[in-house]
Structure 1
Amino acid sequence: MNSQCNKHFSLHMLAKLALAVLMTTPFAVPQTAIAAAINIKRTNYGIPNGAFFVSPTGQPGNSGRSANSPWPISKAIASAPSGATIVFRGGTYRNVRLPLNKRFTLQAYPNEQPWLKGSTIITGWVKEGNIWRKDGWNYSFPPNQQARAVDPKFPMAGYRDMVYINGVPLKQVGNKARVGPGTFYVDPRNKKLYVGSNPNSKTVEATTQAEGIIVWNNSAAGSVVRGLGLAHYADQAIKIGTSGVTVENTTMARNAMEGVTVKSPNVKLRGNNISYNGRKGVGASYAHRLLLENNVISYNNLENFSTSWSASGVKILWSDGVVARGNTVANNKSMGLWADESSSNITFVNNVARNNIIGIYFEISHKAIIASNVVHNNSTAGIMILNASAARIYNNTLARNHANLLVQDTSRRNTKAKEISKGITWTTRNTVVKNNVFWNSNGPMFYAPGCAVKQASRLMIPATNNNAYYRRAASRPVNLIWGLSGNQCSQNFTSLASFRSATGLEGNSLDVVNSNDPFFINAGANDFRLKGGSPAMGRGEPLPADIANAIGVSAGRKVNLGALR
């Protein structure tokens, strides 16, 4: 079903890209960073007449109709009519689960920061030798995912219990004997919770709820969530299974599995912080016309789930018409933006994808615009196309990735006649690569051998032109790896001139060798704006109308190379 990338590369490719190491080595995330980095945006949404108010200390006997007389959440959800706005005063709402069966707008009170947590505060600890015990603990969240989602090196990843002491997460272990400083163990049979760090005089929070806000009932279609924070849920902070839902300026962080799951069409996720979750930031399936816009999606897969199965910043499955634009997708111990399994008409534009395993990944799918993204410092590839057709890769800035661009076909093929009739064949064809800047990769700049199926690379990539390749010294080869035929399936070209001579491609492209970068203002500080006189200025081929429209620029005239916005 989903990809298992390591199995689909030749040994030659594995050696070149060191995928076996890069895709299984965890990234280090300081525990102090996890404790301190999460905030909720300050928002100032207008409060309509007739709104209802809630607070952590709200009382059922209050009117619920003013900021000074709030209800508890449970009463507002039960009593407010469909279409109502519920305004959350600041503070922490504990042990909260909100299944919506009406259309609501849930929003923060102006300039206040309400946290909804799927945890409770624990007191009453008993010291037992060098560890501490909580008796009567009635909560346990054992694995509920497919076995192959769990990396055998990290067998506890699927256990979804969470414990925090003064905001710092403890690591779950599999038995009482392994409990020590910084760890915890749940004994569901005997209803006990053990921690190895002294909990006394500290705030100890432990997970008690699987899901936060559940917008699954069709009566809740069109609901809006904005300005809130959700944390400490065993599965998802927000679970969306009905159409037209909007989540904006909301923080979904420190959840054991996912920040948000979307399984319905016409959902909008805008301006959110979706970070520090155990497996994924965003999981989407059958999420047709999903809009992901201006979100920060970072530091996900903290639990080290298998990176070749589902762990990701964003993973999209079986979805048509998804648009991801203006997002920062960074530092995920996984793929960054990933469209997989028969998705189609995907648009990835104006994003920054950095410090992931693969920045932007388009796999066993059909038709994508991947344009005007800044993609740098990803440990395996900046952009990767695998068994996917009709990907148009325009005006991306690709820098310091192990491979800046990786295009591959394997023997995997779709067998579903209905999908094949729509062009979803799982065959890498009609990839177009234009107007990009390939800047000083750590490995090959453009890696597109045909060895896995003994074919010429031009079958996968019929058009590549108007690109720029930059390296600091002539002794560092440009490294375009290309198959001229089935028998010559992986040729290493060390200059653009030799590649052009052998293939007839890249006729208008640049090969720039200069110890001082002539392209960007300060690439060392990740400022990839073009400097005055950059050789990228005005060198781009005019954009097709749909790509120009997706980026937000004019069509039909020459453009700069690299990211345009």
Structure 2
Amino acid sequence: MRLLAASLATATAVVVLPSVDQRLADTASARPLGPTSTTTKITWKRSGTATSPTTTTPSAPVPTTPTPSTPPPTTTVPATPTSIPTSATQTLTQSSAPPAGALFVATNGADTNPGTAAQPLATLAKALTRAQAGQTVVVRGGVYRQGIAGPVDTSLGTTWSTPAANVTIQGYPGETAWFDGTDAVSGWRADSSTRWSAPWSTPTFCGGRYYEKAVFTAQTMAGPCSHPDMLVPGTATGSPQMLFRNGVQLTEVDAASKVTANTFFYDHGARRLVVGADPAGQTMQAAKRAQALAIYNTTGLTIKNIGFRRYGSNEFTNATSGAVALNKVTGAVLDGVAFTQNAGGGLLGWQAKKLTVRHSFLSLNGFDGMLANGSRREALANPSAGIRDDVLVENSRLDGNNTDGFGPNCAASCASAGAKFTQMVGFTLRDNSFSHNGGNKAAGFWCDLACTEGRIYNNAFVSNAAEGLFYEVSDRGTIASNVMVGNGFAVKGSGLMVSAANTRIYNNTIAGNYNNVLIYDDTRVPGAQVGPDTANVVFANNVVTRGASGRPQVTFRAAQTKPSAFMKFFDYNTYHRPSGTATWWLNWEETAYVNGLYDYPAQLAKARSPLSTHDTYSTVSTDPYFVSASTSDYRLQSTSVAGASVALPSDIATMLHVSPTGAGRGALLPAEAATAAQPIVR
């Protein structure tokens, strides 16, 4: 893989937070088949007293959206917010004490041992075959060069295992356990004064089909490693090969003639690694395994304080597109888990119902930090069964992904993001960072292809190459109290992009994105894999500031439905654009791509009353709302003139731990947590 993104350790950011297409699993078969360095500081609690600014509540009716046919699950929001991990290592050392009767795995163990603390096993695979229902497997500190070994059944795409119910895999307190996909490379020979090579074979890569087609030139929409429109000609994008010299990853190139001292080439036909600097005396390690774990059809699996790194996962939609794959696993909990430096995706979920990911680090992967496909088709086929996904991701970091630069010119297969979900029936994202996902294409978070009942709140979406948050061809979303800053400049994208029905957008701070807000409809045929036309969108209590020069702060775009029909409520928002940076505020495209330009909210209020009747708009040179926008401190001043707020729907107020009335505008915190937010050091 080529390596585009800088290390998080060298691209420092501080984020203060309160308190995760076409990736479709085969639900028809009973067997486990897959579908064919700038510094940024974002601070966004309210300054001054812990209470919100005094506001007035309008007498107009509170906008509502249709009540879901099945209520979302009841969740408990912690009163005091918890920080997300500051690093991968931080997630791994916080494990709890081993319970009685646990099995142990250690680097000095043997699989013939009984698995006690004194006589541990050597491999996690052996421990999972021995573990009884409810038992814990404790992994002692160290590096475990383990995973799924070949050959694999290509009809299944990997080697699936089914542990007993309610098994826990956890680290040992104070120790760091890494599962690592690399092995040491030996057998180097000098081919010339500037070239050295060594034999290397990776038959498990790309669902066991790695050697079927040339990686850079022969990929098709049937894979096996990448979708062809996700590749970048003339580069090594799409190759799951990785090589590390003394722990530092080398960049892969697509031809031996391009090799330099700090790059390498993999000769697919000869099955050899080629480098341009003498490897003698160096520690050379290359990715050998596509995956660490592939779990199928179990319940209650818990993984705590374990790291998974440097596996040869891939971009293409198959079973090896994640270093860990969970297929029809119900009730899994990943707590304090790290996925980093994997060639493709980090975590892959296929109909992993009631999956919880918390306090985890899914960052710096070649493709996405997390990919998850939900159960919409199954739910539609069994409407009386109440089938839901109810995935929860909280207090986690999904930053710096798409280091391989997938998809800058993609057409049908676009999916680069910190996390991408599809077909999800109920999910919650709260108190996470989706930031600095790059490769000239990646979004922060992207939900596509008929997600329903997504609740996205108290997250930071900062400096992503494409959209900060994209809720696409989906339904019944709630987007509240998020911060979206500095997104979209690589692809002329947006901080917030929505093409969904019955979606409520309240109290977000959206600042300095290329396009701040785009709400649109497109030509679609609603069905099992596509949500309804855009309709019943509410946009209220948001603060929208700055943006690319010459760009409107908000754009509405028509297709099968028009803004006049799909914008149910658009009012009580605050805008700031310094004079001279743009000639318009909003582009209302009642006909797609036919501009309808408004300079300020009062013009829209006059033309399309009652829209924008209570909006505020400022063109002063210094931002009048935030503590210090120039230093990216997006707390509202205690004396802010942002304006009154419309009352929040009761479920959103409960979700955010605030009163429905007087919440103010922009991203906010519950009063009891206003001084308790923790820093995230990037």
TM superposition score normalised by structure 2: 0.72
Q: Does 1:107 align with 2:160?
A: no
Tell me how large the CA RMSD over aligned residues is.
Answer: 2.6
Q: Which residue of 1 aligns with 2:252?
A: 172
Contact 2:95-2:170 within 8 A present in 1 as well: no
Provide the residue aligned with 2:487 in structure 1: 378
Identify the structure with the greater helix proportion: 1
Aligned AA for 1:255?
N
2:307 paired with 1:229: yes
**Aligned residues with identical type, % of pairs:** 27
Residue 496 of structure 1 contacts residue 511 of structure 1 at CA under 8 Å; is this kept in 2?
yes
3-state SS of 2:602 partner = helix
Matches for 1:331-350 after TM superposition, within 5 Å: 331-333=436-438, 334-350=442-458
Residue 458 of structure 1 aligns to a residue whose secondary structure is helix
1:81: Cα distance to partner? 2.0
Report the equivalent of 2:40: none
Matches within 5 A, 1:17-28: none
Structure 1 stretch displaced more, 44-53 or 173-182: 173-182
Shift of 1:419: 7.4
- Partners of 1:473 and 1:365 in 2: CA distance: 36
Amino acid paired to 1:30:
A
Partner of 2:6: 30
TM-score by length of 1: 0.87
Return the match for 1:275 from 363, 383, 392: 363
Q: CA separation of 1:335/1:419 partners in 2, compared to 1, >3 Å: closer, same or farther?
A: closer
Deviation at 1:134, TM superposition (A): 1.1
1:364 match: secondary structure: strand
Using the alignment, how far apart are the partners of 2:169 and 2:422 within structure 1?
A: 28
Tell me if 1:213 matches 2:293: yes
CA separation in 1, counterparts of 2:642 and 2:249? 46
CA contact (8 A) 2:521 2:562 kept: no
Letter in 2 for 1:71: L
What residue is the counterpart of 1:251 in the other structure?
338
Aligned-pair distance for 1:126? 1.5
Deviation at 1:138, TM superposition (A): 5.4
Shift of 1:445: 0.8
Segment of structure 1 superposing worse, 438-447 or 128-137: 128-137
Q: Note the C-alpha offset of 1:149.
A: 4.7
* Amino acid across the alignment from 1:360: L
User: Residue 133 of structure 1 aligns with which residue?
Assistant: 197
Gap change, CA 1:209 and 1:475, over 3 Å in 2: closer
Instruction: Report if the CA contact (8 A) 1:40-1:228 is conserved.
Output: no
Instruction: From the superposition, tell whether residues 480 and 179 of structure 1 become closer, same or farther in structure 2 (CA, over 3 Å).
Output: same
Q: Number of residues paired by the alignment? A: 525
Contact 1:447 1:481 in 2 (8 A): yes
Q: CA deviation at 1:171?
A: 2.3
**1:225-264 Cα deviation digits (max 9, x unpaired):** 1101101111222111111111111110011111101112
Unmatched runs of 5 consecutive residues or more in structure 2: 13-86, 149-159, 216-223, 314-321, 376-388, 670-682
The answer to whether the 8 Å contact 2:235/2:254 transfers is no
Partner of 1:316: 421
Distance in 2 separating the partners of 1:467 and 1:545:
19
- Aligned twin of 2:406: 305
1:147-202 CA deviation, whole Å, 9 max, x = no partner?
34523446532221111112222222334333322222223443322222332222
1:73-472 equivalences in 2 (<5 Å): 73=123, 74-97=125-148, 99-103=161-165, 104-129=167-192, 130-135=194-199, 137=201, 139=203, 141=205, 142=210, 144-145=224-225, 147-153=227-233, 156-216=236-296, 218=297, 220-235=298-313, 236-241=322-327, 242-264=329-351, 265-286=353-374, 288-306=389-407, 308=410, 309-333=414-438, 334-356=442-464, 357-379=466-488, 380-386=493-499, 388-414=500-526, 416=527, 424-425=531-532, 427-442=533-548, 443-450=551-558, 452=559, 456-472=562-578
Greater relative contact order: 1 or 2 (C-alpha under 8 angstroms, separation 6 or more)? Answer: 2
Letter in 2 for 1:101: P
Instruction: Compare 78-87 and 293-302 and name the one that shifted more.
Output: 78-87
How far has the Cα of 1:274 moved from its partner? 0.4
Distance 1:82 1:382 in 2: 45
CA-CA distance at 1:93 after TM superposition: 0.6
- Give distance in 1, aligned partners of 2:88 and 2:332: 24
Answer whether contact 2:423 2:529 (CA < 8 A) is retained. no
**Unpaired runs of at least 5, structure 1:** 1-25
The 2-side partners of 1:32 and 1:513 are apart by 36
3-state secondary structure, aligned to 2:471: strand
| Residue equivalent to 1:23 | none
Please state which structure has a larger fraction of its residues in strand. Answer: 1
SS in 2 for 1:500: helix
CA shift in 2, pair 1:76/1:182, >3 Å: same
Name the SS for the 2:398 alignment partner.
Answer: strand
